[in-house]
């Protein structure tokens, strides 16, 4: 017979058991039956023994009955009834305190259950709270391990909840939490357990569910949250990030599973939010050997100290006349490093806590390599949110560094990369405002790849919006991607931001982008990253026809044209 187990949690027994009333009733019936039977037996057996065992008693009793029929017919039954009443009264006197005690225990038990229920319930959402999660997680996990049955753990964190509280007030934030609780209850099975374990944090235990199936459940929940609703406390769409793990596949202890789900949740935040990630042991920081971490940190330090980073520059082309508007400064790695590409280097720097140092090293390298660029052309520098959020970063000294390299703030664009998730949006906004006040332009990179870029557009004012490479590449093939590009371009135009399409590689893509309200573009078709930046204009019509064309004229506009376009778009937005 196959082994099965019911993973439904049974409430822990209360110290005040409330099941005594039926037993008391049964005890009372038994006691009365015993008393009655004892009296009858005593009456008949005792009377018989006396009548037949004592000489002369039997005839005497018969004579008394004949001589006193009234006594025999009235007094004896009365005495019999009084005896029964006396025994019953004595039994009642014994039972009454027990009944009172049982009633008191019942009342106390009811009060205890009510108090315990309130102690394990979140008062706002009606879900179970963190204490209940701890108790039931242990119980469910023990059953899962004992019977080798799947148990998935999903941790959820509502995206941008602090922004809702700060902008709309805590009352609206409470409505969002209530709506989240309602969605979770309605979308999950009766056997699934849902908890609110923190301010905007929720936990879900899914019995008999592995990680892959749990991800399907999580994505269904995410879809229900993102869609606007016709009814409910909070009707606007919202998103969450989630981290998944499962027992016994990934771990068999509560602490391990919690750490794994939390790490997967953090990865979802880093990857752009509005995502659900499954714990991956291969990339887990918790499973990395300390020696490997030390080696990576030392390798990052070698790159920083050796000064081996070398710059390359990719042109941003004006789609109206083919002139170079700006160069995006990128870095390449020296030979002999253990990192296969700059992305891996930045991941290692993040793990080692050296993102700020690496960003500044890249900026220094790019500024040295950009000395030959015509100053009428702009220079774009990539900076991580982690760098801008760190207390060590100061806008004033950064602008001074640019001036020492011969670059005025109005000529420089800061691209906010999406390598790292934004941790403190308010601090980041303040830093970007100070950079903009100094004259720099701020660009949002890789918009359209996920929800992270779109979220930042609603929270931070950008001068430039760079559409994600993958969207541009799909645009010529898929109508939905084309609509996304058009919508993003229109949205940026209403905000007075310039739109740059990234990743152009074919003539068809160029033809498509030029038909849309997009000001500029970059990609391998228009110019590959090069050590020596090519500042000549491009014949865009020839490129559309499949004929590579580069003119020899030096740019006649450059950053001044870029500034003029931005101001025109802002003016149009204000008038609208």
CA distances 160 to 200, 367, 388, 425, 458, Å, are 10, 35, 19, 9, 11
Token pair for residue 570? 């802002």
The tokens describing 363, both together, are: 């900026």
Point out the residues that are catalytic: 200
| Residue 484 · residue 449 · CB < 8 Å | no
Question: pLDDT, tens digit, for every residue of 244-296?
Answer: 999 998 888 888 898 889 889 888 887 778 889 999 887 665 555 555 556 67
H helical segments located in 54-75 = 57-67, 69-70
Residue in 566, 546, 401 with CA at minimum distance from that of residue 497 = 566
The predicted pLDDT at position 573 comes to 42
Instruction: Give me the pLDDT at residue 287, please.
Output: 54
Q: Report the pLDDT averaged over residues 412-432.
A: 81
Q: Which residue has the higher pLDDT, 507 or 454?
A: 507
Q: Which domains does the chain have, with CATH numbers?
A: 21-119 (no CATH), 130-278 (3.30.70.270), 290-575 (3.20.20.450)
Structure tokens at 108: 């106390």
Using the predicted structure, report yes or no on whether residue 370 has a pLDDT greater than 60. yes
Distance CA 508, CA 530 (A): 24
User: What pLDDT does residue 575 have?
Assistant: 43
Q: What is the pLDDT of residues 329-356, one digit of tens each?
A: 998 887 777 776 777 787 777 766 788 8
* pTM for this entry: 0.49
More confident site: 494 or 420: 494
- Ranges of beta strands (E only) in 248-405 are 276-278, 310-318, 324-332, 378-383
Q: By mean pLDDT, which of 40-44, 226-230, 371-375 is the weakest?
A: 40-44
Q: Which two tokens stand for residue 321?
A: 């006349």
The confidence score (pLDDT) of residue 459 equals 74
Name the pLDDT band for 73 (thresholds 50, 70, 90): low
> What are the phi and psi torsion angles at 561 (to 5°)?
-65, -40
* Range scoring the smallest mean pLDDT among 290-304, 329-343, 371-385, 448-462: 448-462
Using DSSP, state whether 156 is helix, strand or coil. strand
C-beta separation of 151 from 142 below 8 A: no
Average pLDDT of the residues in 95-99: 68
Confidence of residue 1 (pLDDT cuts 50, 70, 90): very low
Q: Which of 71-75, 418-422, 429-433 has the lowest mean pLDDT?
A: 71-75
Given this model, what pLDDT does residue 70 score?
A: 60
Please name the residue ranges forming H helices in 54-126: 57-67, 69-70, 76-119
With both helix axes pointing from N to C terminus, report the angle between 425-437 and 161-168 in degrees, rounded to the nearest 10.
70
Helices (H), 122-169: 130-147, 161-168
* Res 226 pLDDT > 90: no
Q: Which residue in 336, 334, 330, 362 sits closest to 349, CA to CA?
A: 362
Q: Helices 479-494 and 559-575: crossing angle, nearest 10°?
A: 80
Element (H, E) at 385: helix 385-389
Exposure string for 100-111, b = 16+ CB within 10 A, e = fewer: eebeebbeebee
């Amino acid at each position: 017979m196959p082994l099965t187990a019911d993973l439904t949690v049974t409430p822990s027994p209360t110290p005040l058991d409330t099941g005594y009333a039926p037993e008391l009733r049964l005890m009372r019936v038994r006691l009365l039956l015993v008393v009655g039977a004892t009296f009858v037996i005593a009456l008949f057996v005792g009377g018989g023994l006396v009548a037949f065992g004592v000489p002369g008693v039997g005839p005497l009793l018969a004579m008394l009955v004949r001589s006193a029929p009234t006594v025999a017919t009235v007094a004896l039954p009365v005495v019999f009834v009084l005896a029964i009443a006396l025994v019953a009264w004595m039994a009642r006197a014994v039972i009454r305190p027990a009944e009172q005690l049982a009633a008191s225990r019942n009342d106390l038990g009811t009060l205890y259950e009510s108090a315990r229920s309130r102690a394990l319930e979140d008062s706002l959402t009606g879900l179970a709270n963190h204490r209940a999660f701890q108790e039931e997680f242990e119980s469910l996990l023990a059953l899962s391990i004992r019977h080798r049955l799947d148990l998935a753990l999903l941790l959820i964190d509502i995206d941008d909840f602090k922004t809702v509280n700060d902008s709309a007030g805590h009352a609206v934030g409470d409505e969002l939490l209530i709506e989240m609780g309602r969605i979770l209850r309605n979308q999950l099975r009766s056997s699934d357990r849902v908890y609110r374990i923190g301010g905007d944090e929720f936990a879900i235990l899914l019995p008999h569910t592995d990680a892959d199936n749990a991800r399907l459940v999580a994505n269904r929940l995410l879809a229900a949250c993102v869609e606007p609703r016709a009814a409910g406390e909070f009707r606007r769409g919202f998103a969450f990030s989630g981290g998944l793990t499962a027992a016994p596949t990934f771990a068999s202890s509560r602490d391990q599973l919690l750490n794994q789900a939390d790490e997967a949740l953090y990865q979802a935040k880093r990857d752009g939010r509005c995502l659900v990630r499954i714990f991956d042991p291969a990339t887990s920081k918790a499973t990395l050997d300390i020696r490997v971490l030390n080696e990576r940190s030392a390798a990052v330090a070698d790159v920083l100290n050796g000064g081996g980073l070398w710059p390359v520059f990719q042109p941003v082309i004006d789609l109206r006349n083919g002139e170079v508007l700006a160069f995006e400064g990128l870095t390449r790695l020296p030979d002999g490093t253990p990192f296969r590409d700059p992305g891996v280097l930045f991941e290692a720097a993040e793990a080692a806590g050296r993102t700020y140092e690496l960003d500044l090293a890249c900026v220094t390298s790019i500024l040295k390599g950009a000395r030959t660029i015509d100053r009428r052309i702009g220079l774009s520098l990539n900076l991580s949110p982690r760098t801008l959020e760190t207390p060590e970063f100061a806008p004033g000294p950064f602008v001074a560094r640019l001036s020492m390299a011969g670059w005025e703030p109005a000529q420089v664009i800061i691209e906010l990369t999406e390598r790292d998730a934004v941790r403190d949006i308010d601090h980041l906004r303040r830093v970007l405002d100070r950079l903009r006040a100094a004259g720099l332009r701020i660009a949002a990179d890789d918009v359209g790849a996920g929800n992270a870029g779109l979220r930042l557009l609603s929270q931070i004012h950008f001068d430039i919006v760079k559409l994600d490479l993958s969207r541009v590449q799909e645009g010529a093939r898929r109508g939905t991607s084309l609509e996304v590009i058009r919508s993003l371009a229109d949205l940026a135009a209403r905000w007075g931001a310039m739109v740059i399409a990234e990743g152009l590689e074919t003539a068809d893509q160029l033809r498509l982008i030029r038909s849309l309200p997009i000001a500029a573009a970059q990609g391998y078709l228009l110019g590959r990253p090069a050590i020596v930046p090519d500042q000549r204009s491009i014949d865009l019509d020839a490129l559309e026809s499949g004929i590579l064309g580069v003119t020899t004229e030096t740019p006649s506009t450059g950053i001044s044209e870029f500034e003029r376009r931005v101001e025109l778009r802002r003016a149009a937005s204000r008038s609208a």
